[in-house]
Chains A and B, each alone.
Chain A
Amino acid sequence: MKFLGIIVVVITGALLVYTTGDFPSWSDPASPASTHVSPHYIEKGMHETAAPNIVTAVLADYRGFDTLFETTVVFCAGVVCFFLLRIPGRSPFTECQYRHKATGITVRVKHDRKMSGSFGEFERIDTLWTPHDLIIQTACRILIPFIQLFALYVIAHGHHSPGGGFQGGVILGASIILLAISHDLRTALDRLGEKAHAILCSVGVLVYAGTGAVCMVLGFNFLDYGALARILHVDPVMARSHGILVVEVGVGLAVMAALIWIYSNVSSRGNYDEGL
């Protein structure tokens, strides 16, 4: 069976290598890609979309369908992780550990449903990973707001500089994951719960697809942001620029929520209780 697999892989690889012979040679000025599409994007991108960053214009406007389904793939990854890993119900741990905040003494308590969170002067700590590191927690608490601010900048400034929804969303998600790593998973889930992951992830895709649908309702093609000119009271070129921004926000939401969703499911083995 293994041998058969190797043969299939080798034949497929050989076929792929063989077909590369039909490609236009590297950076051939006469190739279809550089005679029709690229010059149009480079010469007219700015006039048609008012986005100085051609990459953003191509990604979110000219090839909006592509990006819409990329976002859907990210969403699907989150949903699949949830369906595969999530174990509803109680924690498999029969005992919980608590730390007395003032003295640092740890106490082990038989699991009780009422006592699953932190209470009074005691805070819940993980059974498998218990270090309490003031330096790391404080540094992360100082850094996380700046990371999130930078993420919002990356999303909003995608028109003018490298960046956009995917990058900004990843930075936003990473900031929450940093909180989960430096404190624990429950702290991160208190800030942004499981329902929020699911809802934000879906809302992100909905914002993107909804923008396309609104364009259709207004009598234009799907994802033809020029249609938004009527709602936003600007000229069609600026409307395309604003449409790109709306879509980027949707992408950012979906990517952020999917990342956190996958992380919480994987790190806590699906029970959302104890995890790094």
Chain B
Amino acid sequence: MDIVDIAVAVMVVCGLIFFTGGAVGILRFPDFYSRLHPAGKLDTGGSFFMLGALALFNLEAFSLQTLLVSLKILLIVVFVFLSSPTAIHGIVDAGVRAGLSPWTKGEKRR
């Protein structure tokens, strides 16, 4: 059990925590906007940790080929970081323009 394995395990667990939090948040938050918040943030963070762990695990047998594969995995992270928050921003923007008012404390869940 060397240091890389421990780092990979820690990252996978972190990713799982993020994904779990995201799933619970999407189900439990009270309204449209607050449900989109975990959908955007925790999914992006979760995939960052998961894919980062994959890239790191793949690098253990170091060669040019595994390095290229790891770079490709990191490229996926980059694109998820670009596209997922943009999509959530667009959805929230559409909600505001359609006139949906945000939930405030004391109101009923919607």
Q: Which residues of A does B touch, CB under 8 Å?
A: 131, 133, 135-136, 139-140, 142-143, 146
Q: Does more than half of chain A's interface fall in helix, strand or loop, or is it mixed?
A: helix
Are B93's CB and A143's CB within 8 A?
no
B86 to chain A: which residues have CB within 8 Å? 135-136, 139-140
Give Cα distance in the complex from A181 to B90, angstroms: 11
Docked complex Cα distance between A139 and B93 (Å): 15
Chain B residues whose CB sits within 8 angstroms of the CB of A136 once the complex forms: 86, 89-90, 93
A212 to B79, CA, bound (A): 40
Whether the pair A133, B90 counts as a contact (CB closer than 8 A) is yes
Cβ of B97 within 8 Å of any chain A Cβ, yes or no, is yes
> A146: nearest residue on chain B (CB-CB)?
B79
How far, in whole Å, are A140 and B79 apart by their CA atoms in the complex? 11
Number of cross-chain contacts by CB at 8 Å: 20
Q: Which of B61-99 contact A (CB under 8 A)?
A: 79, 82-83, 86, 89-90, 93, 97
Q: Please classify how large the interface on chain B is, using the bins under 10, 10 to 19, 20 to 34, 35 or more.
A: under 10
Per DSSP, chain B at the interface is helix
Whole-angstrom distance between the alpha carbons of A262 and B107 in the complex?
Answer: 44
Interface string of B3-33 (1 = CB under 8 A from A): 0000000000000000000000000000000
Q: Kindly report which residue of chain A lies nearest to residue B96, judged by CB atoms.
A: A131
Q: How far is the CB of A160 from chain B (nearest CB, A)?
A: 15
Per a CB cutoff under 8 Å, which of B79, B82, B97 touches A131? B97
Q: Smallest CB-CB separation from B93: which chain A residue?
A: A133
Question: Cβ of B90 and Cβ of A143 under 8 Å apart?
Answer: no
7 other A-B residue contacts (CB within 8 Å) besides A135-B86, A135-B89, A143-B82? A131-B97, A136-B86, A139-B83, A139-B86, A142-B82, A143-B79, A143-B83
Residues of B within 8 A of A139 (CB): 82-83, 86
Q: Enumerate chain A residues within 8 angstroms of B79, measured Cβ to Cβ.
A: 143, 146
Cα A140 to Cα B83 in complex, Å, equals 8
**Distance to closest chain A CB from B83 (angstroms):** 6
B59 nearest CB across to chain A (Å) = 22
Q: Once the chains bind, are A131 and B93 in contact (CB under 8 Å)?
A: yes
Nearest chain A CB to B85's CB is how many angstroms away? 8
- 20 of the cross-chain contacts (CB-CB < 8 Å) are A131-B93, A131-B97, A133-B89, A133-B90, A133-B93, A135-B86, A135-B89, A136-B86, A136-B89, A136-B90, A136-B93, A139-B82, A139-B83, A139-B86, A140-B86, A142-B82, A143-B79, A143-B82, A143-B83, A146-B79
